């Protein structure tokens, strides 16, 4: 059997190409590292603000002020995302959302199984985030095709949520919460995939997207488990 050096060269080239294809680029690694670092800090900060809000018994600002604060600070983040002010804007948004979370947690904890509801919602959110992130990181599949579907889905769920509030329809509210859990799961997968594949190069915007997804998933799970507890 003759030895063909070209065969070995091609095999080595193929192995190198495969290894490079499975590895994240330096840019993606940097964005991913900065995103997770900032995400961890903002989650801790938001939880601290929620705790202060609960201890002080602060009332919920209401739907209108919540929307104004959320969209206003989100706009500020988009305008300052390429500067140091963007980090401060992210903390402002996550702190504000932590403040709105405080009264929600106080309400849930007042239920008979309030502590269990919060624990279950927090654990489910953590498992979902870690699992979905692992899928995007290990498979490195491009989930950008989900973008339009998720955007339309969030708009529909938001409109249905407003209808559930105005018409006081608990069943519809529960269904909307379920929709948001699924949509936010898709958003986590979508955003992490964008970072991995180089579609998102700004860690401030990536952090904001992931934080909002985690927040909405947690609040939706609180509603689902809370209504389930009430039904019992």
pLDDT in tens, 5-24: 554 444 444 444 344 445 67
Q: What pLDDT is stored for residue 1 in this prediction?
A: 47
Domain that holds residue 33: 26-231
Contact 153, 183 (CB under 8 A): yes
Higher pLDDT, 164 or 210: 210
Rounded CA-CA distance 170/211 in Å is: 26
Q: What pLDDT is stored for residue 147 in this prediction?
A: 86
* 111, part of any domain: yes
Q: Which of 7-16, 110-119, 131-140, 141-150 is least confident?
A: 7-16
User: With 70 as the cut, is the pLDDT of residue 88 above it?
Assistant: yes
* 120, part of any domain: yes
Q: Which of 82-96, 165-179, 200-214 is least confident?
A: 165-179
Rounded CA-CA distance 214/127 in Å is: 11
* 81, part of any domain: yes
Rounded CA-CA distance 219/102 in Å is: 11
Count of domains for the chain: 1
Report the share of the chain in percent with pLDDT over 90: 69
* 15, part of any domain: no
Rounded CA-CA distance 96/107 in Å is: 18
Q: What pLDDT is stored for residue 12 in this prediction?
A: 43
pLDDT bucket at 230, cuts 50 / 70 / 90: low
* 19, part of any domain: no
Q: What pLDDT is stored for residue 3 in this prediction?
A: 47
* 194, part of any domain: yes
pLDDT bucket at 61, cuts 50 / 70 / 90: very high
Q: What is the pLDDT of residues 183-220, one digit of tens each?
A: 999 999 999 999 998 888 999 999 999 999 999 999 99
Average pLDDT value for the chain: 87
* 181, part of any domain: yes
Q: What is the pLDDT of residues 25-48, one digit of tens each?
A: 888 899 999 999 999 999 999 999
Q: What pLDDT is stored for residue 28 in this prediction?
A: 83
* 51, part of any domain: yes
pLDDT, mean of residues 115-124: 95
Q: What pLDDT is stored for residue 20 in this prediction?
A: 43
**pTM across the whole model:** 0.86
């Amino acid at each position: 059997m003759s030895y063909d050096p070209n065969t070995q060269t091609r095999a080595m080239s193929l192995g190198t190409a495969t290894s490079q294809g499975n590895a994240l680029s330096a840019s993606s690694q940097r964005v991913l590292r900065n995103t997770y670092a900032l995400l961890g800090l903002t989650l801790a900060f938001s939880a601290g603000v929620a705790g202060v809000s609960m201890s002080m018994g602060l009332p919920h600002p209401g739907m209108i002020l919540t929307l104004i604060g959320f969209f206003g600070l989100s706009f500020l983040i988009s305008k300052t995302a390429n500067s140091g002010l963007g980090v401060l804007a992210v903390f402002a948004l996550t702190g504000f959302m932590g403040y709105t979370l405080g009264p929600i947690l106080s309400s849930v904890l007042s239920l008979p199984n309030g502590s269990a509801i919060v624990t279950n919602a927090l654990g489910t959110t953590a498992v979902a985030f870690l699992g979905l992130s692992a899928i995007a990181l290990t498979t490195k599949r491009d989930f950008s095709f989900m973008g339009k579907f998720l955007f339309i889905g969030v708009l529909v769920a938001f409109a249905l949520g407003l209808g559930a509030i105005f018409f006081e329809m608990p069943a519809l509210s529960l269904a909307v919460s379920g929709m948001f859990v699924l949509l936010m799961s898709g958003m986590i997968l979508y955003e992490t995939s964008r970072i991995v594949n180089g579609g998102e190069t700004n860690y401030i915007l990536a952090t904001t997207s992931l934080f909002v997804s985690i927040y909405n998933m947690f609040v939706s799970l609180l509603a689902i488990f809370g209504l389930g507890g009430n039904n019992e």
